[in-house]
Every structure is written in structure tokens, then in C-alpha cells.
Chains A and B, each alone.
Chain A
Amino acid sequence: MTTRIDRRMAKLKTEGRPALVTYFMGGDPDYDTSLSIMKALPGAGSDIIELGMPFSDPMADGPAIQAAGLRALKGGQTLVKTLKMASEFRAGDNETPIVLMGYYNPIYIYGVDRFLKDALASGIDGLIVVDLPPEMDEELCIPALKAGINFIRLATPTTDDKRLPKVLQNTSGFVYYVSMTGITGSALADTGKVAAAVNRIKGHTDLPVCVGFGVKTAEQARVIGANADGVVVGTAIVNAVANVLGPKGEKTADPAEAVATLVSGLAQGVRSARLAAAE
């Protein structure tokens, strides 16, 4: 079974460059604007889209993504609308992989079976659910894999060699290495340590390893991308949206354009990553 993620990763491998994985918050600041951001991502150089599902209590997220989630919820975003957003995007783009990222409760309340059915129908390729460690695999991971949806697991600096096989066991699509202990949006960890960690994980799996948490600039994307199979950028994108919103949430510039400008720069970073590594 191959998914859009598998195909995209295989293609990038032949191109000899890492993937740019872009996270944005679904429904931030409203549905239509958010959909326009999503549609702008592939053209700006995003290889894989992470579509954030807002949650009232995002325990692993920093202030930027917390605020984005609250803006989205205030704007009326629900899981139903997030899936609708994916399917509207999919109508015009059948290649770019979409990974839903968020917390378990909204999915649990939606109903796991119904969710997987509707996610597939909406063109979703993978799931990242922050609060479902391998110990809780029966909840969603196993059913998702059976349904043909990738379940992408986070590996962290606290995931030691003894635990790594357990974390990787039911992981598919790619492995998301969280570059540091902490919440999203913190300062980037020592890049040398990140490279060592990526190599450590690669010693346990053939899956691509993408690195996230703390990557904000093209230069950082280039450095991380020299070693990793993908670079995940989230908080910087969410901030690009926040920066063009006024005090009352009114748009002072086009958020999709702001995001596209940022992502284009990041895309140049990942495209020069292996070049830099070869130097």
C-alpha cells in the first residue's frame, strides 16, 4: 500500500532534496481565508501540508499555535469544517499529501470509524495526534492503518534507543522528530545534536525522518535539511498569519500572500540543503 506521502517522499528522494512540510491552523482566522492559505502552499514550495485541527486545550503547543487555535474556534471552525476544507483543496490538487495534526478528543467525539471514513473521503493521507502515544495504539492508530491512512508518530529527545522500536512499530509515512523537549515554537535546539538524533532514528527505520519544532528561517531549514528527509515549519507560518491581523482580528494584508512569501523562502532553504551538505 502506498499513499500520497510515500509517493511524494520517494519522488523527493530521487530529486535528492528534503521535503518542506508546512503546518497551518485550519480555520485561522476564518474558513475562507484559511482555505486560500492552504491552496497557496503547494505553489509556494510546500511538499507536504499539515492541516491543524484546532483544540481548546493544546497541551503541547506554545503561545502562537494556542492563539491560532482559539482564533479558529472563535471563527467557527469544527472538525467537520476542517475535513470539508481538505476535500475542497483536494478537488484542485490530487498530489500534495495532507496530514491532519491535532489532539485526540475532537476525533474521539466525532467517532473513530466515522472519522476515518470521512477523512479518507476528504483526501486525507496521514494523521499526527499528539496525545496518542504507542501505549494507546488501539484507539486510533491501528484502525487508521487498517483504513489505509498513515499514522505519523512523534519521536523526541526523551525517546531512547530502548523505546524507539516501540514508537516506530506502527509508524508509517514518515517519522516526525521533535528537535527538543518543549512546546511548539521554542528556540531551535543545537543542530549538531539534531543531526545525531536523526541518524540514531535512521538506524532503527527505513522511514523518512522529518524534523520539526523550532525551525523558523530558510537558513535553519537549510541546515536541518542537510541531514533530515524533511523539515517541518509551523509556528513561523502561524505567526505570518497573526502578523497581518489587526487588534480586532481584521486583515491588514492578505494572509495567504504573507504565508506564500515565507514558504517560498523556506523552500529555497530546503532546496539548497543538500548542496550545502556536499560542500
Chain B
Amino acid sequence: MDQPATPNSFRTGPDEQGMFGIFGGRFVAETLMPLILDLERHWNEVKNDPDFRAELTDLSTHYAGRPSKLYFAEGLTKHLGGAKVYFKREDLNHTGSHKINNCLGQILLAKRMGKKRIIAETGAGQHGVASATVAARFGYPCVVYMGATDVARQSPNVFRMKLLGAEVRPVTAGHGTLKDAMNEALRDWVTNVEDTYYLIGTAAGPHPYPELVRDFQSVIGTEARAQILEQEGRLPDTIIAAVGGGSNAIGLFHPFLDDKDVRIIGIEAGGRGLDGIEHCASMNAGSPGVLHGNRTYLLQNADGQIMDGHSISAGLDYPGVGPEHSWLRDSGRVEYVPILDDEALEAFKLTTRVEGIIPALESAHAIAHAVKIVPAMDKDQIVIVNLSGRGDKDVHTVASMLGMEI
């Protein structure tokens, strides 16, 4: 903790029941309840344990390559002609995204708990690759559940996971995307309760996952805050991150939540527009409900059935969001706005051209919002965008959007 909690701090959640206001909680089958309580007990033991922290810091430094750089995006800044734009370079981490931060933390936790087997869910495959990576590093068998649709459209990541020794199980139930992969991972966990650790990839699910994933990802914001103070001598005016489940966003946002003058913006996948059903903007166009162990904003119909979203970015293609984001939305501390597929694609192309950086399509959503607001800001203002991952994985998707075959 880099500052004491004040009475109106936004950083004190969740409460002992795992709630952020009305959001969060532990909505799981009884079979899993003892496991989740056990996880919570171990998490409470390690979270302030200096030995655990030291081991994680050592791995973060020498294995993952932290701290990630805070890069002044001069080309984009000149192009936009407004505030100075900085990128937090999570794309430079080992495995190419912020996902490794969480996976390193959780694999150490699994080791402490004496678990013998790792399971994970993945959408685009970034979390699957990061999970397979840490499982390989620590010698665990690893099963990754991935929707059959995603397996087909993210074949390079499927191959990577297999190279790393993981077993990738395609999920044909439902519509074969991230939501269905998560259902199937939960079914595995409920079956293999004795030896299995469920390595959830985003800041969602039953308590304590949203808290522990956030804490492992908060290294992003903690570093960025110190780096901008060092490089600019002051805090940024605005910080922006894309929100699917929301782990990179909560990781950037959390250390800034009590800096009241910092405007915080989360970007949802607007897909083909919020009028129809082809988007994943659960906080702009959804309503609170209960799925995957927590209460949060969801895309659902009037009968409480969960809808399948759409996004050009497989990593944002999830009909829910982490519960802390839902609470930050309702409390008004963070603004959540949608960015369309086309806008993200333009930002993807622009960043590649003026910065020589190919961003992940997820991150391109955040950049797209910067493109919108930065020109109207003063030149001495500062915006930090979380470049959560690199875009190599997305070149096939982008090519097909542009009508090219590669």
C-alpha cells in the first residue's frame, strides 16, 4: 500500500464476504465452496508474506522482465496534437501481455497450496499461453479450456500452448467462446477438487479471485504511478485501459483510485454498435446479474439468460466484467465508454504506423479512445494508455477485416 486508506477511499474493497457494494460475492456450488474458502485462507497468508513477495518480485524481474517501461509515445502525440500520450508497455512482458503478472502470482500460490494440476480458461489464448508458460516453468500438468470457435480463430496461440506442454481442450458446449470455456473449467474443478488449482485469468469469478488477480495486476499501476512521477514530476490527467473481464484495467486503475484529480476511463468493446446485440459493453448496455461466481454487470435477456457478445477482439469477447469495475462504475469513480470494432481497427493501424508498435486489438480499443480525447486536451496534459499486449496474435484477424489473406 503506497498510501493510507482514507474514509472515502476507493481502494479498501472487497469486504470480508468478497463484496464490492452489491457486486462480487461467492455464487458457487457447494462442492467448490470449501475449495474457495481454502484458497482465501492461503491468499490471506501469503499476500503480506515477505518471502512470497520476494519470490514473486524475483520472477517478475528476471523471468517476466518487469518493470515494464512507461514509454512517451512521441509519434502518436505529434499526430494527435494535444496532450502527451504515454504507453505502459505490458506488451514487452514475457509471453507478450499483462497476463503473466497474474499467472506468476497464482502459480506460486498453487505451489504453496500443494496442488498438483493446473486448469485455466482462455479466450484469445493470451491467458492460456501465460498459464501454460508458468505451468511449464514450475513443472505442472496444465489443461486449458478454450471455446471451439476461439480454437479455430486463434490457432497460433493453440500451437504455442501445445508446445509448452499444455493440453488444450476445445469446448463445443454453448457457442464455443470464453464464457463456455469458463463453464467447462468450473466443471473440471468441481470434478477434480483434491489436486487441481483453477488459474482464473481475469479479475472476476468468486471471491477471492477478483481481489487476488487485481493485487497481482496492480503492479502495472504501481509502476506507472512511480514512473510518471519520475519522468514528468506529476501525476497524469487521464489514464485509459480496455476492459474485457478487466484485469489489465483494474491493475492500472487501482493504485490511482484515490488520486482524485486523475480521470480514469475504462473502454468496453462496442463491437458493431450498442443498438443491436453485437457488442460486449456489459456496463453500458447490460444490467447486474449473477454468473461465474459473482454478481456483476452482464449482457442478458429479460429472463436472465446470458447473451453471447461480439467483439473484433477475442480478449474482450465476454458478456460480463469483473465485479470491482461494476462497483467503480456505479460509484462514479471510473467512466466506462464503448469503442467500436472499426475505431479499434483504425487505432491499431495508426499506432503501427506512427509508433512502430503493433498493439493487441484489446489495447487498440484503449488507444482509440485516446485518439478521440487527446486532440482537445492541452499540450501540457498527460494521458497514460495501458498497452496491455502486443498485436502479433491479431494480424490474421486484422488482415481478414481488411480483406486480405496472409
By a beta-carbon cutoff of 8 Å, the part of chain A in contact with chain B is 55-60, 62-63, 66, 70, 73, 78-80, 103-110, 130-136, 153-160, 163, 167, 178, 181-183, 186
Contacts and interface: CB of A to CB of B under 8 A. Distances in A.
B190 A60 contact: yes
B191 interface: yes
B151 to A, nearest CB: 18
Nearest to A155: B30
Nearest to B191: A182
Interface in B287-337: 287, 289-293, 295, 298, 300, 302-306
Q: Secondary structure of the B side of the interface?
A: mixed
B304 A133 contact: no
Contact of B187 (A59, A107, A108): A59
The 9 closest A-B pairs by CB, nearest first: A109-B304, A106-B304, A182-B191, A56-B305, A156-B31, A78-B303, A105-B304, A131-B27, A133-B33
B137 to A, nearest CB: 29
A59 B145 CA distance: 14
Contacts of B289: 105, 108-109
A106 B27 CA distance: 14
B34 interface: yes
15 contacts: A55-B305, A59-B190, A59-B292, A103-B290, A105-B291, A108-B290, A109-B304, A133-B30, A158-B30, A158-B32, A159-B30, A167-B30, A178-B31, A181-B191, A183-B190
A60 B306 contact: no
Interface in B156-187: 173-174, 179, 183, 186-187
Interface of B: 17, 25-35, 173-174, 179, 183, 186-187, 190-194, 287, 289-293, 295, 298, 300, 302-306
B206 to A, nearest CB: 9
Contacts of B17: 135
Contacts of A58: 183
Contact of A109 (B32, B33, B193, B300): B300
A136 B174 contact: no
A169 to B, nearest CB: 13
Contacts of A59: 29, 183, 186-187, 190, 292
Contacts of B30: 133, 153-156, 158-159, 167, 178
Contact of B173 (A63, A130, A134): A63
Nearest to B33: A133
A135 B304 contact: no
A65 to B, nearest CB: 11
Contacts of B306: 56-57, 105
Contact of A104 (B27, B173, B287, B305): B27
Contacts of A159: 30, 33-34
Contact of A181 (B31, B295, B300): B31
B43 to A, nearest CB: 16
Contacts of B287: 109
A153 B29 CA distance: 10
Given A57-B291, A136-B25, A167-B30, A109 B303 contact: yes
Contacts of B298: 105
A159 B27 CA distance: 16
Given A131-B27, A133-B26, A73 B305 contact: yes
A57 B183 contact: yes
B304 A160 contact: no
Given A56-B305, A181-B193, 10 more contacts: A55-B304, A59-B292, A107-B304, A108-B290, A131-B27, A131-B293, A133-B27, A133-B28, A158-B32, A183-B190
Given A59-B292, A160-B34, A183-B191, A136 B27 contact: yes
Contacts of A104: 27, 290
Q: Which of B192, B290, B298, B303 has the most CB of A within 10 A?
A: B303
Nearest to A133: B33
Q: Which of A73, A130, A136, A163 has the most CB of B within 10 A?
A: A136
A155 B190 CA distance: 13
A97 B313 CA distance: 48
Contacts of A163: 33-34
Nearest to B173: A66
A119 to B, nearest CB: 15
Nearest to A159: B30
Contacts of B295: 108
